[in-house]
Structure 1
Amino acid sequence: MNLLIIEDEPELSRNISSYLLQSLYTCETAATFSTAKERLDSNQYDCIILDINLPGGSGLELLRQLKNKQQSDGVLIISAKNSLNDKVEGLELGADDYLVKPFHMAELSARVGAIIRRRAFEGNNILVLGLLTVDLVAKAARTDSGDLNLTRKEYELLVYFASNKNRVITKESIVDHLWESSVQMTDTYDFIYSHIKNLRKKLSDAGCPSYIKSVYGMGYKFSIG
């Protein structure tokens, strides 16, 4: 799951990123209005953690622009201002939740997870995908044969496929979603093939049919049918 943290306080931004990385999220950061706008114009995220007061502009304006483009990114506003007007305006503009500073990182992580589940998985914590069960809270996958020993990227890849079940996903989309924008791309995409190959093998060894299908010239599709 790919997150964007829009926060101008360096220490808080680092603390949020560090904590969420432990929960297997991929985190990008932006400290100013202009940097955040560049990120939002070129990428989509599972959830955006958005401060209202930013150098160069308002977080609420970024939210307004995001929703005007009808992007589906989840948004959690964080603000030191416990203002009812700001809270109402943010929610009316399309934010999913609002958290007042200071807050506990565990609560922030729980709210981010809830937003992602509501948007991608209809609020479910447990996904049943054929013979495969994915626990989004424990961040684990299992079959009747036992738990799958997945790496962080293999788990993220599996959840990304599950959130786009029966849709064709390009290699470019996988890179944009699961790796930070700073990753230097190559023409071969060998690292993508390696992760998919390893995930397929672990699913097969656990008794799952070939859920991840190659779509020639286009990418991949996760289908249990």
Structure 2
Amino acid sequence: MIDLIFLEDDPVLGAELADFLGEIGYRVTFVTSLAEFDAAFEAGRHRLAVIDVGLPDGSGLALIEQLRNAGDRLGVVVFSARGSTLDKIEGLGIGADHYLAKGCDLGELSATLEALCRRLELSHSQLAWCLEIGPRRLRLPDGSQVSLSQQDMLVLRCLMAAPGESISRRQIIQALGGDYLSYDQRRLDTQMKRLRRKVLDNAGTELPIKTLRNSGYCFYGGASVRS
């Protein structure tokens, strides 16, 4: 499991996002100030950092500059309410690998971290979610398996073929062989609830699918699909 340090001064938002980061497979150290970051950060252990910019005791950008000057091989993602083009240019220029504005879809944050892990060649245990098409089976990270209906398999194939990306309702309905304009979308909502419940009841694990308001769904764990 990859160690990630998360710096966010809003304790409520920070706790929610720390939970999310834990759910998608990171071991999270959550801190709310530069002083807490300095006390908790271990260069040999923490491989990723998600850092806010506006902090009560200083600037997140100054922290990133300090980390880069120290030569730490650390993947850094800025996650800030300051999301103008100039803000992003400044953050990337100082040494952040990615700059995301708060309010972005959490699937984008997940996908950004996964891409950074690949670039830094960090192993990630969550890459063990595997959809096996032939036997219609979902293999979980702990090695357990869940048998799937044909509809379950079609939905998961659509989502797991593009982990971390927003998949629209239209795409999923078309994958099910339905016509988007005439399809009763309550059927899709029911399908997703049943699928989540099936995995939870059979494996005791939450399926890493996030509902995107007025948009669709996102499979936010690492995934592979096999025939």
Relative to the length of structure 2, the TM-score reads 0.53
Give the equivalent residue in structure 2 for 1:12: 13
For 2:41, the aligned partner's letter is L
For 1:84, the aligned partner's letter is T
> Which sections of structure 1, spanning at least 5 residues, go unmatched?
122-126, 128-133, 141-146, 153-225
In the alignment, the residues of structure 2 paired with residue 135 and residue 42 of structure 1 have an alpha-carbon distance, to the nearest angstrom, of: 21
1:90-126 Cα deviation digits (max 9, x unpaired) = 11121110101112222111111111111116xxxxx
CA shift, 1:85, in A, is 2.5
Give the equivalent residue in structure 2 for 1:2: 3
In the alignment, the residues of structure 1 paired with residue 125 and residue 25 of structure 2 have an alpha-carbon distance, to the nearest angstrom, of: 13
Give the equivalent residue in structure 1 for 2:209: none
1:163-195 Cα deviation digits (max 9, x unpaired) = xxxxxxxxxxxxxxxxxxxxxxxxxxxxxxxxx
Equivalence map 1:87-98=2 (5 Å): 87-98=88-99
CA spacing shift, 1:135–1:56, aligned 2, 3 Å: closer
In the alignment, the residues of structure 1 paired with residue 129 and residue 30 of structure 2 have an alpha-carbon distance, to the nearest angstrom, of: 23
Equivalence map 1:37-186=2 (5 Å): 37-40=38-41, 44-120=45-121, 137-139=127-129, 151=142
Q: Superposition RMSD on alpha carbons, in Å?
A: 3.0
In the alignment, the residues of structure 2 paired with residue 12 and residue 100 of structure 1 have an alpha-carbon distance, to the nearest angstrom, of: 14
For 1:26, the aligned partner's letter is R
Verify the 8 A CA contact 1:87 1:98 in the aligned structure 2: yes
Q: Report how many aligned residue pairs link the two structures.
A: 138
CA spacing shift, 1:113–1:149, aligned 2, 3 Å: closer
SS of alignment partner, residue 120 of structure 1: coil
Q: Which stretch shifts more, 10-19 or 40-49?
A: 40-49
CA shift, 1:139, in A, is 4.7
Identity %: 31
SS of alignment partner, residue 26 of structure 1: strand
CA shift, 1:56, in A, is 0.4
SS of alignment partner, residue 72 of structure 1: coil
Relative to the length of structure 1, the TM-score reads 0.54
> Which sections of structure 2, spanning at least 5 residues, go unmatched?
131-137, 144-227
